[in-house]
Every structure is written in structure tokens, then in C-alpha cells.
Amino acid sequence: MKLFVDTGNLKDIQALAEIGILDGVTTNPSLMAKEPGDYRETLKKICQVVQGPVSAEVVSTDTAGMLREGRDLATIDEHIVVKVPLTKDGIRACKTLSSEGIRVNVTLCFSATQALFAAKAGASYISPFVGRLDDIGTTGMNLIREIVDIYDNYDFTTEVLVASVRNPIHIVEAARMGADVATCPPAVIEQAFKHPLTDIGLKKFLEDWEKAQATRV
Ligand code: E4P
């Protein structure tokens, strides 16, 4: 499963890219609004660092506007994936942009039927939001299972990108279900790295080693 980071923060992206396990980046207008500087330049820098798919979202709500923005975003860098919302206008824009060879991530997906429509429109990625479903008392990961099953039935090439990830359990479940990608906030990746037994074990190994060195003649 590919690991994307869900942020527009260049420092966080750089830190994760250096570790060597980062496959891509997703952004959205709320995340990019927090970042200073020029939107396009920031996206360009992110692409240069990650050298993998970087989702940049349109803010238009009509197809014509999405097409205009999407085509423009796609000129920033070859790694840009245009993100459109799962509306009728968004699906229409997805169909056109995909037919022009521009990769599209259809976002704000909350049902399996929506995911089916995105795949039929040639989306490269579908982004079901699991955390936001959990927030309203529905098990978000059930949606991932449904989408993976449906896409497998028809050999759709659209990748299932698990979004709105809130904890490491979402990552584990996504991987077990065969999702293609999980996009996670930096804090969740940090949490997923940590285990107290790793820290305790490493401390003990080093203490034992030091003790042995001290008694050796
Ligand atoms: C995905 O592409 C979205 O940017 C993101 O995962 C939304 O997550 P949130 O529900 O934590 O805002």
C-alpha cells in the first residue's frame, strides 16, 4: 500500500520524504489555506521534494471552472493530480480531464455509488473520507471494503485512496482490505511509527552494550 501525507506543509513533507517511505501528497483548500506564500510555488516545491503524485484541489464548483483550474494546475508539474469534488460537475470535469491525460483524484466520497461513478469517469484516485464517516457514527472503513470489492469485480483501474485518516488503526485496516493508498496527517504517521516496546528494547540493548564495554579489558 502506498503512503501519502495529507498536508501542504513543506517542512513536514521534506522530513517524511527523507525517511524514504513517502509515495505522494494530498492537499485540500483547508490545508493549503494554512500555508504562507504563493499557492503554485508551494505546489511546485512539494512536487520537487516528493517526486510522486501531489493532489491539488480546484475551488470552482462548476465544470467549466474546474476544467480551467484543473488544466492550469496540471501545468505546474508532471506530478500534479487534479482533485475535484464528487458532484455531477466534478464527475463531468473528471471525465474530460482524464480523457486529456490529466490524472484526477475525486474527493469528498462518502458512498459506494459515488465511488462507482468516479471510476466510470476515469478517475485515477477515489478519496473516501473514513474519519468524517466515523465522526457521524458510521464505520468509515466499511465503505473502503465495499469500494475495493466493487472495483475488483470490474477491474477498474481507479486507485482507492483512503482519506480522512485519523489513527494508525485506519492505516492497518486499509492495508488489510487491499486499499491502494492511505493518506495520513503527519501526526498520524508519527503515532504509527511509535511503540513503547521499541523504545524500551532499544534502551536495554544499548545499556547492556555499554556495560559490557566498561567491563572489558
Ligand atoms: C484528503 O484528501 C483530504 O485532504 C483529507 O484526508 C481530509 O481529512 P479530514 O477529514 O481530517 O479533514
List pLDDT tens digits, range 37-96. 999 999 999 999 999 999 999 999 999 999 999 999 999 999 999 999 999 999 999 999
- Give the tens place of pLDDT for each residue, 85-108: 999 999 999 999 999 999 999 999
CB atoms within 10 A of CB 187: 12
pLDDT averaged over every residue in the chain: 97
pTM of the model: 0.96
| pLDDT score at 217 | 67
Determine the Cα–Cα distance for residues 211 and 196; give it in Å rounded to an integer. 23
φ/ψ of residue 29, rounded to 5: -60, -35
| Residue 165 CA, closest ligand 1 atom number | 6
45 is catalytic: no
Q: How confident is the model at residue 216 (pLDDT cuts 50, 70, 90)?
A: confident
Write down the pLDDT at residue 173.
98
107 lines ligand 1 (CB under 6 A): yes
The atom number, within ligand 1, closest to the CA of 183 reads 6
Per DSSP, the residues of 82-139 read: EEEESSHHHHHHHHHHHHTT--EEEEEE-SHHHHHHHHHTT-SEEEEBHHHHHHTTS-
132 lines ligand 1 (CB under 6 A): yes
Mean pLDDT of 201-209: 98
Ligand 1 mean position to 213 CA, how many Å? 50
From the CB of 26, is ligand 1 less than 6 Å away? yes
Q: Give the model confidence (pLDDT) of 138-167 as tens digits.
A: 999 999 999 999 999 999 999 999 999 999
Is pLDDT at 1 greater than 80 in this prediction?
A: yes
Q: What is the mean pLDDT of residues 22-35?
A: 98
